[in-house]
Structure 1
């Protein structure tokens, strides 16, 4: 088996997190700034065509960005939940030494056959 690094040490994990948060915040900011201006202009009956029709377009774009960012965050949450179900693999000393002899680098993936459950399992009383 190959030992995988933890999810928090994965660069794609952090890229997904940062990108999802950035897109969510950008979409929320567009909606939060455009909607009150459009509502105020319509209530005061001073709204121009550009404010009304342009505002609708900007709110549609902002809500699409907001939804895409939230989907990214849900994917991130599902990925973290799925990763928690994978077993933790404990490398053996023989596997580490064999891997060091092959590559000369101890930061590469380690092969082992010993699998340790992710959680401490308590046997059920019978």
Structure 2
């Protein structure tokens, strides 16, 4: 699996964010086990301690639980907790920049809605082609 590491953020944080994205996308669901530390370390060619640090961060955030001798599992309610946090993070950090760009470009709400509708229609047509 090819994955480009971003130099502006620690690898353990990028691994944590990748697991979070998988949870939000529904690839990993409540009760599912996380891939083993060794498997992830080998797949991404990183130190197992780096993977463990990423997983520990998920445990600290109460998104994942450790089951002694069995591994780590996604907690019930983890996706809901993540959505709440990620939505707030988006509104606090990304939305102000997006709003500033919208104002700078003189875009109107209907421009944005039209663009969103066109994008949605394009995605729908791709799904039908499969």
Q: Normalized against structure 2, the TM-score is what?
A: 0.26
Structure ID, larger Rg:
1
More RCO (CA 8 Å, sep 6+): 1
